[in-house]
Chain A
Amino acid sequence: MWQWLYKLGSPRYFYDMTTVFLPWLRGVTYFLLIVGLVWGLGFAPPDYQMKDNYRIIYIHVPTALGAMWVYAMMAAMAAMHMIWNLKLADMVAKSCAWVGASYCAVGLVTGSFWGKPTWGVYWIWDAKLTAMLILFFIYIGVIALRSAFDSETSGSKAASVLTLVGVVNLPIIYYAAQWWNTLHQPPSDLGGSATGANPPEIWIPVFFTGFGLIGLVFLLVILRTRNEILWRERRAQWVQDLVQGEPRRA
């Protein structure tokens, strides 16, 4: 077990291992996404109240949840990087920042597209929306801090510290936003009973796109991490062999 973990911490082992199961991950992710999207957007019946507008949940809910979940993953990686000085954990954290920020942006944009027909406005200062926006700011901060350093090592350590500070702060921000929101306006009903009253034809595709978008998180993080590995280990012999020699199965 420990030996396996130790091996997993080696960028080269990670690269070789992901080369093996990347095609599977890719296949499963694409399958889930295509089935979920075609079913959800094309065949699921329209909602009795929101008509076709509700279809945006197939993208909106998984990306919004994913954005928070990716932050947790990034924080775990940052902690591993700070505690055990694990280079690979930092490379994964760096990839997580970009993927998380993208998911956050997609969640915010799809949310505003959904808000216009349902609430009548693109944006309201609802607790959930505000917390999501601040999460996006924090992702941007982590990315900006890392890229501001010339030295890779300092930049990655600094980004890890900021990520961990953010982890302490995010729950507080969330509760602050909720408190603040209840002072000014009642919380908006975000779609009401999403799964309860709706027929299974509506919510089953959510599982497909949901797991598909989770798969996409892993796919994007792994692909970015592989690039990062190649870049950081560009002086290593095995990377030289990989680039100049016989191309391996990718």
Chain B
Amino acid sequence: MSRYSLGVFGSLRATFTRELLILWRNPGDIVNPLMFFVIAVSLFPLGGDSDPAYLSGIAAGVVWVTALLAVMLSMESLFRGDYEDGSLEQLLLSPQPLYFHLLAKVAGHWLLSGLPLVLLSPLLALMLALPQDAYAPLMIGLLLGTPTLTLIGAIGMALTVGLGRGGLLLAVLVLPLSIPVLVFGAGMVQTALAGLPYTGLVALLGALLVLALSLAPLAIGAALRISIN
């Protein structure tokens, strides 16, 4: 009986560690979005101009847009496997509040897909000749922004998980909704480069994260109930 009386926190920890464990055992799901991030960024100097002056001008935008796309591509592993083996249904049926389950799940997913992007971003910033003053705002921005992007992406993934071929549709749904994070995040780097204080934008990105944390799980839950049907 003890397994059935886990309590809310126990069951949340179980969801969280399960998410980490699943990702850890499928290293491709962690590595592929990262490789996409690196490769896509390195295409810009090849397709554009390798002049450092040009690169440093577009660096913030390129890193942010590519991180946004990488987060979106990593979404597939959040619900797809659980949907196919039926554990998503069990999650929806569980007596603990779905809201917190989903938060735990998304948090676990972000830890192994979003956080590596944040940690990798200075390397790419270096390759794009971004001045060193801009590393801190870039990383702070991504640290606050990628969880929001993950939550927004999870809404889109939850809506399309039942469709089987959601990839492009997911992009059409999620990308317009991610624009505020992109604008404030990339704008923060530009503001720092211009020598202006960027703390206001940190606050704005934080506010978006809080808003997403409080509302997105509701939308994800409603969307999953539709997809499971």
**Interface contact A157-B180, CB-CB below 8 Å:** no
B169 CB-CB contact with A under 8 Å: yes
In the complex, the chain A residue whose C-beta lies closest to that of B176 is: A137
Closest-CB distance, B144 to chain A (whole angstroms)? 15
**Interface contact A141-B180, CB-CB below 8 Å:** no
The listed residue (B176, B177, B219, B229) touching A151 by CB distance below 8 A is B229
Tell me, in angstroms, the Cα distance from A141 to B160 when the chains sit together: 12
In the complex, the chain A residue whose C-beta lies closest to that of B156 is: A162
With a cutoff of 8 Å between Cβ atoms, the chain B residues found around residue A144 in the complex are: 169, 172-173
Known: A137-B176, A141-B173, A176-B179. A158 touches B223 (CB 8 A): yes
**Interface contact A172-B180, CB-CB below 8 Å:** yes
Within 8 A of A (CB), among B163-193: 163, 166, 169, 172-173, 175-177, 179-180, 183-184, 187, 190-191
B59 CB-CB contact with A under 8 Å: no
B69 CB-CB contact with A under 8 Å: no
A86 CB-CB contact with B under 8 Å: no
A61 CB-CB contact with B under 8 Å: no
Known: A145-B173, A161-B159, A165-B155. A180 touches B226 (CB 8 A): no
Query: Most chain-A Cβ atoms within 10 A of its Cβ — which of B163, B166, B208?
Result: B163
Closest-CB distance, B64 to chain A (whole angstroms)? 12
Closest-CB distance, B92 to chain A (whole angstroms)? 15
Closest-CB distance, A128 to chain B (whole angstroms)? 15
Tell me, in angstroms, the Cα distance from A165 to B223 when the chains sit together: 11
The dominant DSSP class at the A interface is: helix
Tell me, in angstroms, the Cα distance from A151 to B160 when the chains sit together: 13
With a cutoff of 8 Å between Cβ atoms, the chain A residues found around residue B172 in the complex are: 137, 140-141, 144
The count of residues in chain B whose C-beta lies closer than 8 Å to any C-beta of chain A is 28
Query: Most chain-A Cβ atoms within 10 A of its Cβ — which of B177, B211, B227?
Result: B177
Closest-CB distance, A218 to chain B (whole angstroms)? 27
With a cutoff of 8 Å between Cβ atoms, the chain B residues found around residue A154 in the complex are: 162, 226-227, 229
Query: Most chain-B Cβ atoms within 10 A of its Cβ — which of A134, A141, A165, A183?
Result: A165
Tell me, in angstroms, the Cα distance from A212 to B227 when the chains sit together: 40
**Interface contact A161-B222, CB-CB below 8 Å:** yes
Residue ranges of B at the interface with A (Cβ–Cβ < 8 Å): 155, 159-160, 162-163, 166, 169, 172-173, 175-177, 179-180, 183-184, 187, 190-191, 208, 211, 215, 219, 222-223, 226-227, 229
11 more A-B contacts (CB under 8 A) besides A138-B176, A161-B226, A177-B179?
A: A138-B177, A144-B169, A145-B159, A157-B222, A161-B222, A162-B173, A169-B180, A173-B179, A176-B184, A179-B183, A179-B187
* Contacts A/B (CB < 8 Å), 22 sampled: A82-B222, A137-B175, A138-B177, A145-B173, A148-B160, A148-B163, A148-B166, A151-B229, A154-B227, A158-B159, A158-B226, A161-B219, A165-B177, A166-B177, A173-B176, A173-B179, A176-B183, A177-B179, A179-B187, A180-B183, A183-B190, A183-B191
Residue ranges of A at the interface with B (Cβ–Cβ < 8 Å): 82, 134, 137-138, 140-141, 144-145, 148-149, 151, 153-154, 157-158, 161-162, 164-166, 168-169, 172-173, 175-177, 179-180, 183
